[in-house]
Chains A and B, each alone.
Chain A
């Protein structure tokens, strides 16, 4: 029987939702569920790991793991994979996951399926669904002969439920620092305390219809009420109104929130490519022929400067 090693990300002492999703999914496989957490705070989440069904917990507690370094993490994780004899790895398609696990896969001479939106276990193999061409097409894919099967899941795609394992064995691994050719000098914090677009459950996105940068305040106010993250079209990023980290679309971020509110966005094919996986799409646009209405679940044809402030007030009433 196989063993699935789940790379569990956490912040502020709690498992990220993506990690809860991955553990819940791993449990459904009938295989051994092993969780890996790294960093000096990793021991603080072992209780949560147990709640989500980890039968084995592997910790890399050394403070050198507080900061992501691709070379260091690749070496240490391959070591844990070998010691734990894991046959599969599940991780989030986060900044870290997407950077790290392809390298781990190459070192283990294994296959990697990245940015998956669905996951099924069939015997010892794993089948996934992944968007291609920025969501214009979906592939069902699986592993051929691959020593370790590595799957990177997009956040907010899978259900979560708790179900503690009968017993859990915890192992602390030590790892001596290898010679590294990569040094992380500094982290420049972003201006936003909000969830990243790729993790957000609600996104309010603005386009050229907002007329100027200052008018994004309308969207920030709306987003504050909803606990949403603000996104943008490429047109406004290129105009310098918003940072590139906010761009949604083919050359920006691919997002899949429960609710995506597009305000003054025309719905160009490259924009839609990045958000068509959203569960519910609301379009607010004064042009009834704007292509965004072809993708939207609900639409308001109207002037955003009139509609958005009213919408913010209306949400305030129900979001209490």
Chain B
């Protein structure tokens, strides 16, 4: 059984975002790169499935600039993935182009039984690539998955939807599963795991080798930082006075009631 997991390297959630002088990308100096948090759930679920299927292998794939993106594969290897595959491509690739390249690599590797992804990359906030990979591979998908069960006939997943409701979905494998928080508790990489991962050779593809162009369907015009908020208005007096003042301000000044 061949299990694929697509992961992305993103700035750590603590990162203070700065914009570079071209106004089209973020300034990456000093940025600490980590695995996209939702992808950690995807990697964990892939490894859990592998552990329950003798002979199964987990292939972690990432797309990103070669100069840095391999590191995220080492993290997945250290957690227990068997192979790391890097697609060397600029960070500016849009969702459609990214999904095409990932799907092409999975097709090239062949025999996917299952593809795990995170439900969303916290950097570009698109939540699109998982579904697009499924479409390009012509297989079913479910995203925002918080429960996964593998059965011989079908896989059963729970998908979180609005209002705290869940859909119970069955799919015929191979399928793409987009992981949500709650799916599992991602393991920490063990020290021996980290040592072993350092030595592993990563497989590499260029976009040309995959027959995919870097043509984007969408483009970024400019980036900006949110406007500074005016300083907070702290309310004074005893708690009853504060509360009365607050309700008045919300009604008469902010007009949100």
Contacts and interface: CB of A to CB of B under 8 A. Distances in A.
Report if A and B associate in a common complex.
yes
B209 interface: no
Nearest to B162: A196
A65 to B, nearest CB: 15
The binding surface of chain B is classed by DSSP as mixed
B246 A243 contact: no
Interface in B209-250: 215-226, 229-230, 232-235, 239-240, 242-244, 246-247, 249-250
A13 interface: no
B217 A184 contact: no
B164 A191 contact: yes
Contact of A298 (B142, B226, B249): B249
Max chain A C-beta neighbours (<10 A), residue from B17, B182, B218: B218
B32 to A, nearest CB: 13
Contacts of A123: none
A142 B218 contact: yes
Contact of A70 (B15, B19, B141, B218): B141
A24 interface: no
A135 interface: yes
Nearest to A302: B239
Max chain A C-beta neighbours (<10 A), residue from B19, B135, B244: B135
A99 B26 CA distance: 27
A283 B235 CA distance: 11
B104 interface: no
A298 B233 contact: yes
B131 to A, nearest CB: 4
B38 A280 contact: no
B169 A94 contact: no
A137 B26 contact: yes
Interface stretch (A41-49, A82-90, A213-221, A245-253): A245-253
Nearest to A252: B181
Max chain A C-beta neighbours (<10 A), residue from B14, B99, B217: B217
Interface in A74-108: 74, 94-96, 98-100, 102-103, 105-107
Given A102-B127, A250-B122, A95 B144 contact: yes
Contacts of A29: none
A300 B254 contact: no
A244 B162 contact: no
B96 A294 contact: no
Contacts of B127: 98, 102, 114-115
B235 A186 contact: no
A223 B181 CA distance: 26
Contacts of A102: 95, 126-132, 135
Contacts of A55: none
Interface string A267-287: 001100100100110110000
A105 B95 CA distance: 10
A314 B247 contact: yes
B17 A259 contact: no
B169 A183 contact: yes
B107 interface: no
Nearest to B128: A102
Given A105-B96, A140-B222, A251-B37, A115 B126 contact: yes
B223 A132 contact: yes
A187 B95 contact: no
A282 B53 CA distance: 51
B123 interface: yes
Max chain A C-beta neighbours (<10 A), residue from B144, B156, B180, B226: B226
Contacts of B256: 202, 258-259, 279-280
Nearest to A110: B217
B219 A300 contact: no
A302 to B, nearest CB: 5
Contacts of A164: none
A319 B256 CA distance: 12
Interface in B140-190: 140-144, 146, 154, 156, 158, 160-172, 175, 180-182
B244 A314 contact: yes
5 contacts: A70-B140, A106-B132, A144-B217, A192-B163, A293-B234
Interface of A: 68, 70-71, 74, 94-96, 98-100, 102-103, 105-107, 109-115, 127, 130-146, 180-196, 198-199, 202, 226, 243-247, 250-252, 254, 258-259, 269-270, 273, 276, 279-280, 282-283, 288, 293-303, 306-307, 310-311, 314-315, 317-319
Given A98-B128, A293-B232, 16 more contacts: A71-B140, A95-B162, A99-B143, A105-B217, A111-B216, A111-B218, A113-B218, A114-B95, A140-B223, A181-B140, A185-B169, A189-B165, A226-B257, A251-B122, A252-B181, A300-B242
